[in-house]
Amino acid sequence: MSEFQIEIKGASYSYPVREGYNVKAVRNLSLSIRKGEFVALTGMNGSGKSTLAKLLNGLFQPNEGEILIDGISTADEDNTFEIRKKVGMVFQNPDNQTVATIIEDDIAFGPENIGVEREEIIKRVDEALEAVGMSEYRTRTASKLSGGQKQRIAIAGVLAMKPDILILDESTAMLDPNGRKEIMDVACRLNRSGITVVNITHNMDEAALADRIVVLRKGRVAIDGTPKEVFASGLIEACGLTLPPITELARELEKEGFEFDGVVINAEELAEGLCRLLK
């Protein structure tokens, strides 16, 4: 078995837009992710992030190349069930991911569909709600929740399937700052418990929280490294992105004569570096 949990080997995917006109969203892309990694997948609108996510759980099949999840190819239809179970996805809009009125029914929907025993379903619903900190909402209706809470319920629904990999496809984009924080806290906690997390985002502060950032540009991997490596690469703007506000500020300050140890990616580091020079 390979040392990688996710292996994308030279995958390409095109959308037909109109007759005789295709858009290549993913082009001959290769990427490997280890079990337990926390990866931020970023890139400007149209860079192929969401297409790649849909390739990962077999919603789309690559036109060329191959995608393996724990060594299993997504191309084989017999594996679709297995892949969907392994790779859980949470989408952008908190308002269209619930299927039932009552929260516990909503979370039970996935395991019910794959024929999990009743006792086991109850246990999974308990655990999933606990993991996202929503246990007390068990018998409430989803429509009354805040955006952040709705997304936590969506994550719980995925967790009830016992996935190995959690993909957040811009799941925080429509949330307010508090909702964003809630989701990122849950994602970090799940990652610590062993789940591989792929967070698709174009919020650079959020990307900086990951262990590894993969930047896509025109359907290919343009930059791949730790947040510090990626933000120090000097290629972020060329990929249509910007540095996190703190990193941007540090750069401005360097023009003013300040010097920092390498690239600064969080407020703590910046404050420390500044104090050293000013006190």
- Helix axis angle, 103-113 relative to 118-131, nearest 10°? 130
Site membership for another protein, residue 141 (CB under 8 A): no
Based on C-alpha coordinates, what's the Rg of the chain? 20
- CA dihedral (39, 45, 49, 54) in degrees, to 10, reads 140
Q: Which of 44, 75, 102, 188 binds another protein (CB under 8 A)?
A: 44
Q: Which stretch binds another protein (CB under 8 A): 110-118, 125-133, 189-197, 270-278?
A: 270-278
As a whole number of angstroms, the longest Cα–Cα distance in the chain is 66
Phi, psi of 118 (to 5 degrees): -55, -50
Beta carbons of 79 and 43 less than 8 angstroms apart: no
Beta carbons of 224 and 8 less than 8 angstroms apart: no
Whole-number minimum distance, CB 47 to another protein, in Å?
Answer: 8
Q: Which of 2, 10, 23, 112 binds another protein (CB under 8 A)?
A: 23
Site membership for another protein, residue 185 (CB under 8 A): no
Site membership for another protein, residue 10 (CB under 8 A): no
φ/ψ region of 30 (left if φ > 0, alpha if ψ in -120 to 50, else beta) reads beta
CA-CA distance, 56 to 200, in Å (whole number)? 13
Q: Which of 65, 110, 111, 179 binds another protein (CB under 8 A)?
A: 179
- How does DSSP assign 199-211, residue by residue? EE---HHHHTTSS
Q: Which of 87, 103, 165, 239 binds another protein (CB under 8 A)?
A: 239
Site membership for another protein, residue 12 (CB under 8 A): no
Q: Which helix (H) or strand (E) holds 96?
A: none
Q: Which stretch binds another protein (CB under 8 A): 95-103, 112-120, 125-133, 267-275?
A: 267-275
Residues numbered 203 to 222 that lie near another protein (CB under 8 A) are 204, 218
Q: Which of 4, 28, 32, 46 binds another protein (CB under 8 A)?
A: 46
Chain positions contacting another protein, by CB under 8 A = 15, 17-18, 23-25, 43-48, 50-51, 92, 146-147, 170, 173-174, 176-179, 202, 204, 218, 237-242, 245-246, 248-249, 252-253, 255-258, 267-268, 270-271, 274-275, 277-279
